[in-house]
Amino acid sequence: GPVDGPAWTGSSTAAFEHATAVIPGGVNSPVRAYGSVGGTPRFLASAAGAHVTDVDGRTYVDLVGSWGPALLGHAHPEVVDAVQRAAARGLGFGAPTTTEVELVDEVRARVPAAERVRLVSTGTEATMTALRLARAWTGRDKVVKFAGCYHGHVDALLAQAGSGVATLALPGSAGVTAAVAAETIVVPYNDLDALRTAFAEHGGSIAAVITEAAPANMGVVPPLPGFNRELRRLTSEHGALLVQDEVLTGFRVGPAGWWGLEGAAEQWAPDLLTFGKVIGGGLPVAAVGGRADVMDQLAPLGPVYQAGTLSGNPVATAAGLATLRLADGDVYARVDAAAARLRREVSGALVQAGVPHAIQWAGSLFSIVFGERAAAEGARDYAGVQASEHWRYAPFFHALLDAGVLAPPSAFEAWFLSAAHDDEVLDRVVEALPGAARAAAEA
Q: Which residues are catalytic?
A: 150, 245, 277
Output 9 or 244, the one with its CB closest to ligand PMP. Answer: 244
Asked if residue 235 binds ligand PMP (CB under 6 A), the reply is no
Cβ-proximal residue to ligand PMP, closest one: 123
Output 43 or 150, the one with its CB closest to ligand PMP. Answer: 150
3-state SS class at 127: helix
Q: Which of 279, 247, 437 lies closest to 359, judged by CA?
A: 437
> Smallest distance, Å, CB 149 to ligand PMP?
7
Q: Which of residues 168-187 bind ligand PMP (CB under 6 A)?
A: none
Asked if residue 242 binds ligand PMP (CB under 6 A), the reply is no
415 in Cβ contact with 338 (< 8 Å): no
Q: Where are the alpha helices (DSSP H) in 278-410?
A: 292-295, 314-326, 329-352, 372-377, 382-386, 393-402
Asked if residue 223 binds ligand PMP (CB under 6 A), the reply is no
Output 29 or 98, the one with its CB closest to ligand PMP. Answer: 29
3-state SS class at 255: coil
> Smallest distance, Å, CB 65 to ligand PMP?
12
416 in Cβ contact with 65 (< 8 Å): yes
- Alpha-carbon distance of 388 to 378, in angstroms, equals 9
Q: Which of 261, 277, 273 lies closest to 363, judged by CA?
A: 261
Stretch that binds ligand PMP, among 54-62, 173-181, 240-248, 302-310 (CB under 6 A): 240-248
> Smallest distance, Å, CB 341 to ligand PMP?
24
| 221 φ, ψ (degrees, to nearest 5) | -130, 95
Q: Out of 97, 99, 217, 367, point to the residue binding ligand PMP (CB under 6 A).
A: 217
Q: Out of 49, 65, 123, 188, point to the residue binding ligand PMP (CB under 6 A).
A: 123
Q: Out of 99, 122, 129, 311, point to the residue binding ligand PMP (CB under 6 A).
A: 122
Asked if residue 276 binds ligand PMP (CB under 6 A), the reply is yes
Q: Which of 127, 114, 62 lies closest to 257, judged by CA?
A: 114
Asked if residue 396 binds ligand PMP (CB under 6 A), the reply is no
Angstrom distances, CA of residue 243 to CA of 69, 126, 130, 138, 142: 21, 11, 7, 13, 13
Give the interface with ligand PMP as residue ranges (CB under 6 A). 67, 122-124, 127, 150-152, 212, 217, 245, 247-248, 276, 286
